[in-house]
Structure 1
Amino acid sequence: MAGRRVVQVVLDQALAMGLGMLAALAAGLVVIPLLRWGLVPPKTILWAPAITFFAVDYACDAAIHIWVPLRRGGVTPGMLVMGLRVETLRGGRPKARAYLFRWLLMTVDGLLFGLVAVVSIVVTARRQRLGDLVARTVVVRAGVEHRSGSPRTFG
């Protein structure tokens, strides 16, 4: 079911972006007095929050998709809400490299507003997106035992 995966990705991205926005707001609040005191150039009020947002969003996205599932049994915050988890094709826990591949290939899967991932999930037997195919992982419902090729996979 691609719908669960779409909601899961939206939740994870919203978390990363929300933290990025909070950090950007904090950066802007720090820059304002520095600007008034003449310690930074005027353009800093535009660039400091923007750079902070992108840096924090990127770091949070990496943490949410690599570090958190590695430490929490294959579950991102969005997967926790949607009742999903990542497993290897044999039903074991993926290693850090698998999570890294999955995260890096989200760039390709996200093309055309995620259409590449949705099509991949719909047409593959195990409902895998490209990142899952390369990492040799599958997304399953949490609490359900997985066997290779099980119809309960959510790619």
Structure 2
Amino acid sequence: MTDPGLGVAGRRLVQFLLDELLVFVPMLLLAIAVVWVFHPHGPALLPFLKIVFYGMLALDLAGQYFVNAWWPYRHGGQTPAMRRLRLRVVTLEGAHPSLGAFVVRELLMVVDGFAWGLAGIVVMLANRRRQRFGDIVTRTVVVRVPRRRDGNHSADQAAFPGPDGDLGAVAGPQLALGRADVGLDRRHRHHE
């Protein structure tokens, strides 16, 4: 597989922000509504706000799991924002990742999110496949999905960039080369 290019990295950053907002905004609105309707007066206010905060934190973690692990597992490797931005998570072989791979990717956002996401950005820009740490561990990669001729994107095909960086190739199983195929086995080299 070749280099996805910086365009995929930029789309991934936008996708990450959109998916975060998809979870955060409803949680914030819910927290505001709960505080507005049920807030106590006096000394009970601070314990109440702590309960609301920890409850919203728990709901946010559940929402993050839903959007970043369960949803892409059930919807062809795409979060809602990935679908909009024509991105998809696939294994290095071009197959659909397991639910476990999506869960591990989400858990490793703790590492990738270090220093407000700077760690994940640096790792992504430092490797040729534009993988963050969670992708490296789970052997997945985020690729662009080509548009179909009717203008829509194909949810069934992931695109890997061609030699000129254009995204025209379709992911498929990669052929493994043996030692004889690359000229490392002396026995087979003499017969050629």
Bin of the TM-score, shorter chain as denominator length: 0.7 to 0.9
Secondary structure of the structure 2 residue equivalent to 1:128: coil
Aligned to 2:84: 81
Runs of at least 5 residues in structure 2 that lack an aligned partner in the other structure: 1-5, 147-156, 168-192
Provide the C-alpha distance between the structure 2 equivalents of 1:81 and 1:15, rounded to a whole number of angstroms.
Answer: 13
Contact 1:19–1:56 (CA under 8 A) maintained in structure 2 = no
Between the two proteins, the alignment pairs up a number of residues equal to 148
Letter in 1 for 2:82: M
Runs of at least 5 residues in structure 1 that lack an aligned partner in the other structure: none
1:11 to 3, 8, 18: 18
* Deviation >6 Å, runs of 4+: none
Secondary structure of the structure 1 residue equivalent to 2:130: coil
Q: Which protein is bigger by CA-based radius of gyration? A: 2
Percentage of matched positions with identical amino acids: 39
Residues 78 and 147 (structure 1 numbering): CA distance in 2 closer, same or farther, change over 3 Å? closer
- 1:145 CA displacement: 3.8
Aligned to 2:185: none
When the two chains are superposed, the root-mean-square deviation of aligned CA atoms in Å is 2.5
Secondary structure of the structure 2 residue equivalent to 1:121: helix
2:68 to 52, 65, 69: 65
- 1:30 CA displacement: 4.8
Letter in 2 for 1:18: V
Contact 1:74–1:94 (CA under 8 A) maintained in structure 2 = yes
Residues 88 and 128 (structure 1 numbering): CA distance in 2 closer, same or farther, change over 3 Å? same
1:133 to 132, 136, 144: 136
Provide the C-alpha distance between the structure 2 equivalents of 1:58 and 1:113, rounded to a whole number of angstroms.
Answer: 17
Residues 147 and 7 (structure 1 numbering): CA distance in 2 closer, same or farther, change over 3 Å? closer
Higher helix share: 1
Secondary structure of the structure 1 residue equivalent to 2:143: strand
* 1:105 has 2:103 as partner: no
Instruction: State the TM-score, normalizing by the size of structure 1.
Output: 0.83
2:127 to 124, 127, 132: 124
Secondary structure of the structure 1 residue equivalent to 2:77: coil
Instruction: State the TM-score, normalizing by the size of structure 2.
Output: 0.68
Provide the C-alpha distance between the structure 2 equivalents of 1:18 and 1:92, rounded to a whole number of angstroms.
Answer: 33
